[in-house]
Amino acid sequence: MEPLADRVRVLLIEDELKIAEFVIAGLSKANFEVKHCDDGESGLRAFEAASYDIVVLDVMLPKLNGLEVLQKIRQANTDVGVLMLSAKSELVDRLNGFELGADDYLPKPFYVEELVARIKALLHRKHPESVSQIVCKDLVLNLADRTAHWGDVSAVLSQREFSLLGYLMRSPGHIYSRQQILKYVWGLDFDPETNVVDVCVGRIKRKLVRSHGKKESPIESVRGVGYRLRTEALQ
């Protein structure tokens, strides 16, 4: 089943050829249409000359760096999704990109499957009608009827369970803190006395394990930190 109603147009601005090649291959396999530029100036010209759904933008670029390109994109178009790529993974660098208008940030090195998942999540946030599924290997979240499909079986999720699982599926392998989950799913600031996140995760785990018949849930609890989607548990 194709998760996107139409082919998504992605502008990739990346000067490292090997990275660009494997990103293009992965995005093309996901049925995205990709335009590649290898420096900031040509990337900005390409953005100004055509319409794109997503811009995947490296920070360290020749001629015009990624943050400068991002500023000019935001001056011209505030709606397009911009996902930054960078080998610089310090918090201050990520915050700088977000302050300038980036929608998401993926540090290098990365798996192309995670990039695809983040692009789909970004598309859903900006254009909910354009995406019908979130897919992480054999775990599929159907946005129309709030069902989680794991292998050959499915489980119906509540709205909170659906939102929480979808949040984890945005970045497989990434550890989300309870505070982040509480803010995203319930819209609440962190309350150290509440266990609603743990209770909700427990319900999702039971539904997936009961439905799939596996001993291990794809959701892992990271002691003292939060939760992540275990990519190794997926096929």
CA atoms of 155 and 166, how far apart (whole Å): 14
More confident residue, 225 or 235: 225
**Domains along the chain with CATH numbers:** 9-129 (3.40.50.2300), 132-233 (1.10.10.10)
Average pLDDT over residues 185-213: 77
pLDDT the model gives residue 11: 96
pLDDT in tens, 122-153: 887 766 555 567 777 778 888 777 888 887 66
DSSP letters spanning 98-138: HHTT-SEEEESS--HHHHHHHHHHHHHHH-GGGB-EEEETT
Average pLDDT over residues 39-46: 94
pLDDT the model gives residue 13: 96
In three-state secondary structure terms, 152 is coil
Does an H or E element contain 142, and which? strand 139-142
pLDDT the model gives residue 40: 93
pLDDT the model gives residue 90: 63
How many Cα atoms sit within 13 Å of 27 on the Cβ side? 24
Residue 5 has pLDDT above 90, yes or no: no
R_g over Cα of the chain: 18
Residue whose C-alpha is closest to residue 154's, from 212, 204, 220: 212
Q: What pTM does this model have?
A: 0.55
